Structure 1
Amino acid sequence: MTSVNPTESNVMLTVETLDRPEAATDEWLRLGVRIVVSGRDGANSQAVLQQVLALFWPSAELYDFYATPYPRLPEATVLRIAFDLPASYAAGVSGIVQSIGGSGWTVDIYEDGEQAACWKPEHGALRPLCEHFHSAEINLIPSSHLAAFRKSAGPRLLQ
């Protein structure tokens, strides 16, 4: 279990991971999710964190997680969650956006294999996950594009 202190108010967010059968692989994808959650009491952030974790478990392995105050919006927190997915994950960023829900996502797919999506509360877009979801950025990056120190402890993923 991982605990993170996202604010000065000593609110702790927790991530609980379970053991699962794993198989080593050399090719994989890094999924980076950055979500701004309104309300700094911690409950909103914990709820969004648990929803995101549930969306990608058990096909993804949690790589990293942390939370920090969001300077542009008083009483908001930024959740940064990184997962490792098997290279065989065929749905891409469009599938990830579909899993998270909402409407009004902007999706970019680049020639080098990287994919990105962002969501902002504009033009009547339906809010993903919950009313505390303020904005989000998603990046899906092939492991070959990562710096060596970011992939040195490569994941052990189900294929």
Structure 2
Amino acid sequence: MTRLLTWHDEWSLNIDVLDEEHRGLIEHLADICHRFGPEASPRRSGDACALIDALTDLGEAVREHFKREEELMQTVGYEDVAEHRTEHALLMAEYTDQLRHWRAEGIDVFHEEAQEDARDWILDHILGADRDFAKAFHEIEDHLTSAGHCHDVAARARLNAARRYP
């Protein structure tokens, strides 16, 4: 299963900062799979508290990523930022519910079904709503860099800020 948790270039949005963060989230999840998956050494898997802590950390990393992503969307003037923010809230509620379920279940091995659920939870958003944002971002970028649009100082400033986005 963990081989599926390697970053694939076709997942790229061609927005460096987001691709870097997405890659980091995939690597974070892959690390959990390696440390707590069925193939992990018995010393590493079988620790329910450590697994739940690792999954909680992943959720917090995703929450922070969503916050930064929304700030970037605001910066460039993305018109669907409210809808995207709502999707983020729903995704975090879904993850919190799944985490409660895993905790109640006493999950101590991150089995393949749980790995797939977590992977799909992250990737469905990257390959769906984030692709929509990337398309709009690149359209804004293309519009502002085309001839005759250099007079829109505020828009160019937002785009430059987005390029420097932490």
Fold match by TM threshold 0.5: no
Bin of the TM-score, shorter chain as denominator length: under 0.3
TM-score with structure 1 setting the length: 0.24
Select the structure of larger CA radius of gyration: 2
Q: Which structure has greater helix proportion?
A: 2
